[in-house]
Structure 1
Amino acid sequence: MKYSPIALVVAQLLAPAAYAQDENKDEQHQHENTEVIVINASPLARTELNSAQPVSVISGDELREKQAHTLGETLAHEPGINSTHFARVASSPIIRGLDGPRVKVTQNGLDSADVSRGSPDHAVTTETSVAQQIEILRGPATLLYGSGAIGGVVNVVDERIAQEHVGGTRGFFGGNLASVDDLRDVNAGVSTDIGNTVLHVDGFARSSDDYQVPSFTNDEGETTDTIENSFVDAQGGTLGLSYLFDGGFIGASYARLDQEYGIPGHHAHEEEHGEEEHSDEPHEEEAHEEETGPFADLKQNRWQLHAGLENPWQGVEQLSVRYAYTDYQHQEIEDAAPSTTFTNEQHELRVTANHQLTDQWYGAFGYHGFLQEQAAFGEEAYTPASETDRHGLFWLIETRENKLNYQLGVRYENVSINAPTVELGRQQHDFDPLSASFGVTYQWHPAVMFNANYSFAQRAPSANEIFANGAHLATQTYELGLNYDVHAEAEHLYVIEPNERSIELETSHSLDLGAHFETGENHLNINLFVNRVNNFVYESFTGLNSVDLAFDHDDHADEEVHEGEPEGEHDHEEGLPVVQYNQEDVVLFGYEIDGRWQLAPNWRLDAFSDYTRAYAIDNNANLPRIPSQRIGAEFTYNEGNWESSLGYVWYAEQNRVAANEERTPSYGLLNAQFNWFPQGFSRYNLSVYVKAENLTDKLGYVHTSFLKYDAPVAGRNFSIGLRGEF
Structure 2
Amino acid sequence: MIRTAASGIQTASFTSERIMKPLYALLFCTLLNLNEFSAHAQTAFSGTVVETGSGEPVPGATVFIEALQKGASADDSGRFSLENLDHGKWTLEVRSLGFEPLIVEISHPSEEEAVFELRASVVQSDDVIVTASPIGRSVQYQPAQSLSAEQLQQRAAPSLGEILDGNPGVTTRSFGSAPARPVIRGFDGDRVLVLQNGERMGDLSGTAVDHAVGLDPLAMDRVEVVRGPASLMYGSGAIGGVVNLFSADMPREWDPGSRSALASHVSSMNSMGAGLVSTRYGTDRFAVTGRMIYRNGGDLTTPDGTLPDTALRNLSFGGGLGYRLGPVETGLSITGMNFDYGLPEMIDDLNESIEIRMNRLNIQSISTMDMDRFFEHAELRMHYSDYSHDEVEISRVPQGTVEEFVAITFAQQTLSSSLLLRHRKTGPFEGALGLSFNRSALQLGGGDALTPNAAGTFLAGFIYEEIGLTDALSMKTGLRMEWKDTRVKTNELFRDASIFEDRTDLIFSGAVGLNYSRSDRFTTGFQVARAYRTPTIEELYSFAPHAAAGSFDRGNPNLQNEISLGADAFADYSGERISWQISLFANRISNYVDFFPTGETHQPSGLPIFEYGSKDAILYGFEIMAGLRLSRTLSAEAGADYVRGYEYTGNRNDLTFIPPFRVYASLRAEQGKWHAGPRVRIVSRQDRVAPNERPTDGYVLIGADAGYRLGHGVTLSMRLDNLLNERYRDHLSRVENRNAPMPGRNVNVMLRWEF
For normalisation by structure 1, the TM-score amounts to 0.83
Counterpart of 1:229? 309
Q: Are 1:636 and 2:649 counterparts?
A: no
Q: Are 1:658 and 2:705 counterparts?
A: no
Letter in 2 for 1:231: A
Cα pair distance change 1:344/1:105, threshold 3 Å: same
Q: Give 1:89 shift.
A: 1.8
Counterpart of 2:527? 453
Counterpart of 1:119? 208
Q: Is the 8 A contact 2:132 2:226 kept in 1?
A: no
Distance 1:177 1:56 in 2: 27
Q: Is the 8 A contact 1:700 1:713 kept in 2?
A: yes
- SS of 1:382's partner is coil
Cα pair distance change 1:83/1:337, threshold 3 Å: same
Q: Give 1:720 shift.
A: 2.5
Match for residue 389 of structure 1 among 457, 460, 469: 457
Q: Are 1:249 and 2:323 counterparts?
A: no
Q: Is the 8 A contact 1:258 1:299 kept in 2?
A: yes
Matched ranges for 1:313-712 at <5 A? 314-333=373-392, 334=394, 335-336=403-404, 338-356=406-424, 358-400=426-468, 401-421=470-490, 423=496, 424-483=498-557, 499=558, 503-542=559-598, 545-547=601-603, 575-618=606-649, 619-678=651-710, 681=711, 683-684=712-713, 686-708=714-736, 709=738, 711-712=740-741
Letter in 2 for 1:331: D
- SS of 2:303's partner is strand
Q: Deviations over 1:290-327 (max 9, x none)?
A: 4572211111111111111111x842111111011111
- SS of 1:129's partner is helix
Letter in 2 for 1:354: R
Distance 2:191 2:135 in 1: 24
Q: Deviations over 1:317-364 (max 9, x none)?
A: 111110111111101223345332111111011111111361321111
Cα pair distance change 1:542/1:425, threshold 3 Å: farther
Letter in 2 for 1:418: R
Q: Deviations over 1:245-304 (max 9, x none)?
A: 111112211101011111111x469x7xxxxxxxxxxxxxxxxxx457221111111111
Q: Give 1:640 shift.
A: 3.0
User: Identity of aligned pairs, percent?
Assistant: 26
Q: Are 1:37 and 2:122 counterparts?
A: no
Letter in 2 for 1:402: D
Q: Give 1:6 shift.
A: 8.2
Distance 2:17 2:139 in 1: 19
Q: Give 1:711 shift.
A: 4.4
Decide which structure has greater helix share.
1
Distance 1:32 1:148 in 2: 41
Q: Report which stretch shifted further, 415-424 or 315-324.
A: 415-424
Distance 1:546 1:89 in 2: 27
Cα pair distance change 1:292/1:540, threshold 3 Å: closer
- SS of 1:63's partner is helix
Distance 2:259 2:383 in 1: 26
Q: Is the 8 A contact 1:121 1:263 kept in 2?
A: yes
Distance 2:623 2:448 in 1: 39
Q: Are 1:297 and 2:360 counterparts?
A: no
Distance 1:472 1:11 in 2: 51
- SS of 1:294's partner is strand
Matched ranges for 1:275-286 at <5 A? none
Distance 1:605 1:332 in 2: 45
Cα pair distance change 1:322/1:251, threshold 3 Å: same
Distance 2:702 2:298 in 1: 23
Distance 1:214 1:99 in 2: 28
Q: Report which stretch shifted further, 355-364 or 134-143.
A: 355-364
Distance 1:242 1:511 in 2: 40
Distance 1:408 1:31 in 2: 31
Q: Give 1:448 shift.
A: 1.6
Cα pair distance change 1:9/1:316, threshold 3 Å: farther
Distance 1:545 1:454 in 2: 42
Q: Is the 8 A contact 2:156 2:265 kept in 1?
A: no
Letter in 1 for 2:754: E
Matched ranges for 1:83-122 at <5 A? 83-122=172-211
Q: Is the 8 A contact 2:599 2:692 kept in 1?
A: no
- SS of 2:654's partner is coil
Q: Is the 8 A contact 1:431 1:505 kept in 2?
A: no
Q: Deviations over 1:22-48 (max 9, x none)?
A: xxxxxxx9887785632232453445x
Cα pair distance change 1:654/1:543, threshold 3 Å: closer
Q: Give 1:399 shift.
A: 2.7
Q: Report which stretch shifted further, 579-588 or 157-166.
A: 157-166
Cα pair distance change 1:235/1:697, threshold 3 Å: same
Q: Give 1:373 shift.
A: 0.8
Superposition RMSD on alpha carbons, in Å? 2.6
Letter in 1 for 2:752: R
The runs of 5 or more residues in structure 1 that have no matched partner are 18-28, 216-224, 272-289, 484-498, 548-572
Q: Give 1:603 shift.
A: 1.2
Cα pair distance change 1:596/1:171, threshold 3 Å: farther
Q: Is the 8 A contact 2:154 2:750 kept in 1?
A: no
Letter in 2 for 1:359: G
Letter in 2 for 1:430: T
Q: Report which stretch shifted further, 621-630 or 119-128.
A: 119-128
Cα pair distance change 1:599/1:119, threshold 3 Å: same
Distance 1:579 1:46 in 2: 42
